[in-house]
Amino acid sequence: MKSRTSFFDKTVLKKDLTRFFPLWALYLIGGLLIMHILSGFYDSYFPNRAYAAARDLNALIGPMGLVNAGYAFLAAQLLFGDLHNTRLCYGVHALPLRREGWYLTHITSGVLMGLAPTLVIVITLLPVLGRFWFVGFLCWGALSLHYLFFFGLATFCMMATGNRFAATAIYGILNFLSLIVHWFAKTIYIPLLPGVRPTGDISNLLSPPVKVVQLDDFFQLVHLDSCFCRNTPDYFIYDGGVHDYGYQGLGGDWGYLLILAGVGIALLGLGLLLYRIRHLERAGDFLAFKPMKPIFLGVYSLCVGAVLFYLAYELADEAAGYFFLVIGLFIGYFTGRMLLERTVRVFNRKGFMGMGILYAAVALSLLLTWIDPIGISRRIPHSNRIDKIILCDGRLSDYQLNSNRIGYYDNVAIITDEEDIASFADVHRLLLQEHSSHNGNGYCPVTIQYHLKNGNRVSRTYNIPYNGAAYLQFVDHLCVPEYLFGAKTTVIFRIIHVCTIIFGAVLTSSLAWDISDTFNGLMMIPNLIGVVVLFPLVMKITKNYVARKIKGKDVKPMLSYDAKLQADIEAALEQE
């Protein structure tokens, strides 16, 4: 070997690549199968095989991020596993090679174990891609970028921990930290803020495994119509015309991957700093550095408390949830100390003092959230900043609420008029007054989403009583379910409905069909009544349209059946 002044050793590199050959060979074989089987080259229904393969590679880059997340962690575990075994740790570091040499050589091995197999996969795809051959190298670049992040994070976890279980736990926590924080805040703190409805957009963005899977815009292929018939794999006849595809440019997801790669490289540098000051006797401990222990202990305790809070809240009520939060913090704190200190003798004065500090910090944060000194729950955006307001059923999911097709759902109203937006602030204040955490019978869940002119969104969900003034104000803007004899009578209807199921199960099929046909026929009665009642209005509107559009007469247009609405629309048209 080289002297202790060396920062790189070829022998160690060769040993890494040969020793861990089964891992990266398995990654290579798996990648070949995934890329070749799932690429559009084998789609017999799509004549343009090269385009189909390029298109599917664009969609596979994101899901391959999950494969890289697991593979990078396994690679880091194998390369730096000696740090978690006392004998290996002392034996390896007795060799005449500086820590920087070990570290940089292992990092080089890990990078090669990730980048080389994907390059081989891409080269095998070049004949499939045809004239889109360069797409393969774009795919290799994207895979390399998110591999650098996951390998950097895994290496940092190996440097910060003392055993494999701890490294696995910390790696998972850091990958999903933003989702954990979002879930914890939504579970514990958000119920104390009336109406606040958080979204997971930012938490998904800061959770790389979740965000990477969603990426699918790395390069863009466009459809080109050609007026010449050419019998090549890149041209095909479809619906009587000849169509071709071409490369347009890079997509918009590269920026996120470049940021991830930069973070991964920074974590590799931070890992080197930790490795240089790491004490060898920390092998086997849960964490290798004392300053990290309070952070882990706090996060672990809060997670255990949040889980128990959630279970009690779902099975019982909110009071039971906060009671079990106290119990969960106690369990989490002392089991966490057992993990960190590798002993069960943690119930001492120092332990109870730390437990008291944790209780005080959580209680203070809950109190401040309940008081809401900065007015998060009371915030109503100024009408000058609002572009539009969406009112809808409070049971719609975040995906439905943020969908571009929100207007197609039932019980949805979109307010764009400036006067209506300005006047809606009074309705919102009334909703704040009558909001209740109770969501059972007699209460209507409603959601308000403000779309601000700067592109931000503010969402609020309230449970308001059907017999309250806020409900009456809200139905002026939104068509919500109303009941002919009151909401409580729905129980009677449900009982009757259940009874019909029993009768339907025991009646003969012919009698069941006869009853069904009878009631279907009876449905024409209200329809005929509506046709007869509305017939004069329909004739009046039709005559107005024929007089204006067909006969060309100068007749005042009939814009509404209601005289007041007619006047309002005419006034609005005159202003325009």
Q: What is the pLDDT of residue 200?
A: 58
Residue 291 makes CB contacts below 8 A (sequence gap 6+) with none
> 227, 192, 254: which is closest to 61 by C-alpha?
254
Distance of alpha carbon 178 from alpha carbon 304, whole angstroms: 17
Helix, strand counts (H, E) of the chain? 21, 7
d(C-alpha 517, C-alpha 106), whole Å: 77
Taking only Cα atoms into account, the Rg of the chain, rounded to an integer number of angstroms, comes to 33
Residue with tokens 């593979």: 71
Pairing mode of beta strands 235-238, 412-415: unpaired
Contact 446, 394 (CB under 8 A): yes
DSSP, residue by residue, 546-558: IIIIIS-------
Rounded Cα distance between 38 and 57, Å, is 8
* Percent composition of the chain: helix, strand, coil (DSSP 3-state, to 5): 65, 10, 25
Show the low-confidence residues of the chain (pLDDT under 50).
Answer: 1-5, 41-45, 225-243, 480
CA dihedral 49, 56, 137, 268 (to 10 degrees): -160
In the beta sheet, which residues pair with residue 461?
Answer: 447
Task: Name the strand (E) or helix (H) holding 464.
Answer: strand 457-465
**Which residues are within 8 A (CB) of 122 and not within 5 positions of it... i.e. 6 or more apart?**
136, 137, 139, 140
Is the whole-model pTM more than 0.75?
A: no
Alpha helices (H) along 98-163: 99-129, 133-160
For 506-528, write each residue's pLDDT tens digit. Answer: 777 777 788 778 888 888 888 88
Q: Is 367 exposed, middle or buried, given 0-12, 13-18 or 19+ CB atoms closer than 10 A? A: exposed
